[in-house]
Structure 1
Amino acid sequence: MSQINTTKEWSNPTPAGLVALAVACFCFFALLSGKVTGEAIPLLGVWLLGGFVVQLIVAIVDLKGGNTTGGNTFLFFSAFFMLVGGIEMIMKFNATNNGILLDARIDGWAWLVLTIVLYLWTPAFFKTPLVLTLIVLSLNVALPFITLMDLGILSKSYAAIPAWALLIAGIFGIYLSAAIIVNTAFGREVYPMPGPIIKS
C-alpha cells in the first residue's frame, strides 16, 4: 500500500499513454507487415478507440501539470491517431464491404499535417529522456511513409519501412512505461533511464 498517493496531486499518467501508443504501434506493425489480414481492421479500430480514452486522460493531466510538450502531443495523438483512426478503420471496412467508394487520399493530406507537426516539435523531445526521444524519432521514420502511401505517391510495397519503425517505437514505449512505473515505485533507478540529449 506504500504506492498510494496520499496527497491531492495527480500522479504521472504518461506510462498509460505509452502503453496505448505501444498497442497501436504493434497492431499497425501487424497490419502493415502482413502478419494479419485486412479482416482485422475493424478490431484494430476498436483498440484505437480504447487508446483514445487513455491518451485523452493523459493529455488533460499532463496539461494540467504544465507539461506542454507531452500534454499537447498526447492530445493530438488521442484525437487523430486514436479516435479518428479508430472510427475510420471501422468506416472504411464497412464501406468496402458495402461497395461504397471512398477517396482515402484525404487521409494523406491529414497525415501530412501531423507528420510536419511532429517533425517541427521533435527538437522539444531532445530535452526529454532519451527513450522518449527514440520513440519520436522512430515515429519520424514511419509517418512520412504512411503519408506518402495514403496520398498515392508511394506504393504499398513500402509498407515494411513504417511497419518496423512503428514496432521499434512500440518497444521503446513499453520500456519507458515500465521504467517510469517501476522506478517510481522503488524510488530509484531500477530500469536504466538515460537522460536527455540536451540538458537544461
Structure 2
Amino acid sequence: MKGEMKIRRLFSKGSEKYKEGDFRGLLVYPSTSDVILAEKILKGEGYKVRVVGPPPHLRTGCDLVIEFPLIEQLGIERILKEKGRIPLKVIPISDEILEPIDLCQKKDFGDYLMIRAANMKLVIDKRTEQIVNISGGGCPDVPYLAEMLIGRNLKETPSPKDLGHTICAYALHIAYEEMLKEVD
C-alpha cells in the first residue's frame, strides 16, 4: 500500500484540472459535509480529485460533487468504503451533458483581484495581499467568516474551511486556495 501511494503521488503532481480526453467520473453525495470529508480522505490518500458543481440533472440537494480520474475508480471506491464514505452514485462522464461546472471565476479590477467560487466572492488588494471584501452566499456563518478574514493578509489567515461548516465556507475556501495560487 505504501509503495502504491508513493507511485500515485509521483504521477499526480501538478494541476488538479484534467486535460481533454482524460476519462473522468463524478462522486455524488447527499450533503456538502459528505463531499468535504470524502475529498479530504481522497487527497490524503494521494488521489488527484477536485470538487466541482454537478450538472443540473445530478443535483441532490448538495451543490457539489467530486471529479476524479476514472482509471482510479476501484481504488477510490475501496478507500471510501473502508472509511465509511460511500457515495450515492459514481457516474462516468461520457458526454458534454454530464460536464461538471467549474466553480471558480477570476476578475481583475486593477489594484484589486476577485475570485468567485460558486456564490462566494473573495477580494484582495494586490499590492498588500490584504483581504478587503468577502461577500455572497447566504449561509449563517458568512458574517463570521468576513469578520475573521477581512483586513488580514491572505497568507496569514486560516482557511475558511477551518472556520466555517457550510457550503458557503467551503466555496470561500475554494476561492481562498485559488487566490493563494494567484499571488504566488
**TM-score when scaled to structure 1?**
0.25
More strand by share: 2
Higher RCO by CA contacts (8 Å cutoff, separation 6 or greater): 1
**TM-score when scaled to structure 2?**
0.26
